[in-house]
Amino acid sequence: MQVMTEAVFQKDLYLNIEASKQEPLCIATDRGNFVIMSEDEFNGLVATADISTNHAYKDELIKRRNAPDNEFIDESELSW
C-alpha cells in the first residue's frame, strides 16, 4: 500500500484516484490516516469480513474446501 501526505494526494488527485483502482492508498493527515480503495476492493473486504464473522458459513466453506473432488459436479456437466 502506497502512503502519501494529504498535500501529495491532492496535487495529483485524478492520477491518485486512478492508482487506487490498482492498490489501496493510505493518506496520512494530521487528523489521522485514511485509506482510498476501489469499490471492488472494498466489496471484497466486506464480503470477507461477513464470512469471517458468520461461523456456520465459514465452517461450511472450510468443510467443502477440504472435501474430495468426487463430491463435486464437474464443470463440463453444467449448462451455462
Q: pLDDT tens across 49-78, in order?
A: 988 898 898 888 889 888 888 888 888 888
User: How confident is the model at residue 7, as a pLDDT?
Assistant: 94
Nearest alpha-carbon partner for 25 in 43, 5, 45 = 5
Nearest alpha-carbon partner for 4 in 23, 20, 28, 38 = 28
pLDDT band at 42 (very low <50, low <70, confident <90, very high): very high
pTM above 0.95, yes or no: no
Lowest-confidence segment of 18-22, 39-43, 64-68, 69-73 by average pLDDT? 69-73
What is the percent of the chain where pLDDT is above 70? 100
